[in-house]
Chains A and B, each alone.
Chain A
Amino acid sequence: MPKIIKNGQVVDDNWQVWRDAETLPSTDHVIVPLALWQQQRDALLALGEIAVYLASDESPKSLSDDDLSALSFVAVDFPKFMDGRGFSYARELREQRQYQGEIRAVGDFIRDQLFYMKRCGFSSYALPSDELEAALASLNDFSESYQPGVDQPLPLFRRRQA
């Protein structure tokens, strides 16, 4: 079974990314495009557990609160690892929408981005790498940060002790 990083560990995972926006998948445990979700919401939910991925030009504003509670989780797709829009989307889901569920990174990204992703609110990573155990170290490249983030809402200047 494929493996992902979730909540700081390497775990088995049977979710698949379904990139066809026109056709319904035949099983559940699929992460579908936003457009397919918007057109076929009921048919998808009838299959079972469904997640949606946001493409890099699709803001979380396209998902209603109702969508968020019906979905098993939300994924953010990185078409190229240099495309950093997804970092803002994860923060928006956590900090402006108070989304508590899983946020998964899918697509093209690298282990050296994991620390930033964690700070922005991602909780699972379908990292395209066969060295997931080694990659776990990158989640903790730093033990302190200056800015507020999802992992630590207080900026360092509110916590600093002389």
Chain B
Amino acid sequence: MYAYDQYDRQIISQRVAQYRDQTERYLAGKITEEQFLPLRLQNGLYVQRLAPMLRIAVPYGTLNSQQLRKLAFITREYDKGYAHISTRQNVQLNWPKLEEVPDILEHLAEVEMHSIQTSGNCIRNVTADQFSGVAADEVEDARPWCEIIRQWSTFHPEFAFLPRKFKIAVCGSEQDRAAVLVHDIGLQIVKDESGNTAFKVIVGGGLGRTPVIGSVIHEALPPRHLLSYLEAIVRVYNQLGRRDNKFKARIKILVRAMGADAFKAKVEEEWAFIKDGNLDLPDEEIARAQSFFTRPDYEALENEDLQALALENVDFARWLNHNVHAHKQRGYAIATLSLKTTGVAPGDITAEQFEAVADLAEEFGFGEIRSTHQQNLVLPDIQQRQLFALWQKLVSLELASPTVGTMNDIICCPGGDFCSLANAKSIPIAEAIQRRFDDLDYLYDLGDIELNISGCMNACGHHHIGNIGILGVDKKGQEFYQVSLGGQQGLNASLGKILGPSFAQDEIPDVVEKILNCYLEKRHPEERFIDTYERIGLAPFKERVYA
């Protein structure tokens, strides 16, 4: 993974000093509440319902064992011994003290971590496919490009006070695991006719209260133009994006109002000034970025036949089927560590688990860990012959729930239990669903279903792109839940349609059961939930639920 040099280290340590000074001036009453707000947000610090929340950046979801141990230390020393993996691959602390944040940053800087631009109206931490570099279906590793974008966007002087937050995602595989169609900018790595790398540039996608699928404004951008093109897009947005209404300030509203073609024309006009200028990426810089993401020292192995082991042990077989993915290197596999154990808030992880995972990453892999937007962790380089041994250890750590990709692999925001924006709680809904549908054979029979829960319109739980989406709404001061069907992520991304009037909290498991029963009755053999939905539409589900 990327390693800091003296420049990166200096920038991060000056950041700690800067933020310490800002915090001291705030506590001394020299910065007003209103002025401090963007300063702390651009450092990932929210003031929440019960305590501040600190969002620590995990650039493109890549972590190492040393960093996990430091996170464990920080959660014990400055928090309550656990943290949360967010839907943007970041790590969140729920109970830090505002005055201790500078100290936390200092600890983070020791392991090349920070919380820069994890919130606020700026370019946020760039996200990527969690399987970058190891996925069997990879076109090209997204991580070097993410690192190039990370550096360009970090403390960008022109884009720290944009109309609204700005999120960039990069996907380098055939299957999109980075949700590039629903980001402010999505970059899909493609190969041109001669096999050269290029970027399909998608702008103006997003979830939130106005969900939009992004528009392609460049089919194949040559890599050397990557930064100048991004700069032109954000420059146009900075000047023309709406600032009169917070809910209409995202780039998706601008692109829709102008039309994608007119927006593109404006970008190209701006681009003409900076194209072929200093932002042009020289081959040496691309090679430098790529040099940090070379293939680790894989052993020459054959693929293992794990059938016999699986037949002997049904629990292992279940885990193997659902939590293990194909690796590009023969004899290796990718293991997803589920943070969706029933009874634990989706995405939550304890200090002990952090440390144990750090050890496992070193024992079984190359000391690298990924965080995912599905709120799980990944060990990317596991020898197939060691999967059984790894699984046994994960079971004792409660990280082996064999439900990855099933309905119980719920994406869920922290919701009303923590977040001051939320209209309703989301964690208890996730738990009630996991408890109702705890029969694994039933879950497996349902096949791939994504169920996503957001506690409010801001859609941190990505409810619009869940096959089943649940949104917390406020109805006369009461917490209610609106259900939508038919959303999906990936390159065929689509937005769910609202089923009908909302439900009380205790009705949700029954509602979900009725939806599933309808699917089970109507489905063709081997047909996924989303395909059945697309074939028969919303009406049969609606009839069943509201009958």
B285 touches A82 (CB 8 A): no
B7 touches A160 (CB 8 A): yes
Task: Please give the distance in Å from B400's CB to the nearest CB on chain A.
Answer: 40
CB-CB contacts below 8 Å: A30-87 with B: 56, 59, 81-85, 87
Residue B78 at the chain A interface, CB threshold 8 Å = no
| A-chain residues with CB within 8 Å of residue B292 when the two chains form the complex | none
B11 touches A84 (CB 8 A): no
| A-chain residues with CB within 8 Å of residue B30 when the two chains form the complex | 131
| B-chain residues with CB within 8 Å of residue A162 when the two chains form the complex | 5
| A-chain residues with CB within 8 Å of residue B157 when the two chains form the complex | 87, 115-117, 119-120, 145, 147, 149
Residue B14 at the chain A interface, CB threshold 8 Å = yes
Residue with the greatest number of chain A CB neighbours at <10 A, chosen from B14, B158, B239, B288 = B158
Given contacts A110-B35, A112-B39, A146-B151, contact A88 B279 (CB under 8 A): no
| B-chain residues with CB within 8 Å of residue A146 when the two chains form the complex | 11, 151-152, 154-155
From B99-107, B159-167, B201-209, B301-309, the one touching the partner chain is B159-167
Given contacts A87-B158, A119-B157, A120-B157, contact A155 B11 (CB under 8 A): no
A81 to B32 CA separation, bound complex (whole angstroms): 12
Beta-carbon nearest neighbor of A160 in chain B: B7
B158 touches A157 (CB 8 A): no
**Could you say which of A87, A148, A157 contacts B238, with CB atoms under 8 Å apart?**
A87
**Could you say which of B31, B159, B278 contacts A155, with CB atoms under 8 Å apart?**
B278
Given contacts A112-B39, A142-B14, A160-B7, contact A82 B161 (CB under 8 A): yes
Beta-carbon nearest neighbor of B160 in chain A: A116
Residue A96 at the chain B interface, CB threshold 8 Å = yes
A158 touches B14 (CB 8 A): no
B161 touches A84 (CB 8 A): yes
| A contact residues vs B (CB 8 Å cutoff) | 56, 59, 81-85, 87-89, 91, 95-96, 110, 112-113, 115-117, 119-120, 131, 141-149, 153-158, 160, 162
Residue B318 at the chain A interface, CB threshold 8 Å = no
Question: Quick one: CB contact mask for B6-19 with A, threshold 8 Å, 1 for yes?
Answer: 01001100110010
Given contacts A115-B157, A116-B160, A156-B151, contact A143 B14 (CB under 8 A): yes
A84 touches B238 (CB 8 A): yes
**Could you say which of A59, A113, A155 contacts B279, with CB atoms under 8 Å apart?**
A155
A147 touches B156 (CB 8 A): yes
Interface of chain A, helix or strand or loop or mixed? Answer: loop
Task: Please give the distance in Å from B352's CB to the nearest CB on chain A.
Answer: 37
Beta-carbon nearest neighbor of B277 in chain A: A148
Residue B259 at the chain A interface, CB threshold 8 Å = no
**Could you say which of B38, B156, B238, B278 contacts A158, with CB atoms under 8 Å apart?**
B278
| A-chain residues with CB within 8 Å of residue B274 when the two chains form the complex | 95
CB-CB contacts below 8 Å: B97-125 with A: 121
| A-chain residues with CB within 8 Å of residue B22 when the two chains form the complex | 112
A143 touches B10 (CB 8 A): yes
| A-chain residues with CB within 8 Å of residue B243 when the two chains form the complex | 56, 83, 85
| A-chain residues with CB within 8 Å of residue B227 when the two chains form the complex | 155
Residue with the greatest number of chain B CB neighbours at <10 A, chosen from A84, A89, A144 = A84
Task: Please give the distance in Å from B236's CB to the nearest CB on chain A.
Answer: 9
Beta-carbon nearest neighbor of A156 in chain B: B7
| B-chain residues with CB within 8 Å of residue A85 when the two chains form the complex | 238-239, 243
Given contacts A87-B157, A120-B158, A144-B11, contact A82 B38 (CB under 8 A): yes
Q: Name 14 extra pairs, CB < 8 A, besides A82-B38, A160-B7, A162-B5.
A: A83-B161, A84-B162, A84-B238, A87-B160, A88-B158, A142-B18, A145-B157, A148-B279, A155-B278, A155-B279, A157-B151, A157-B281, A157-B282, A157-B285
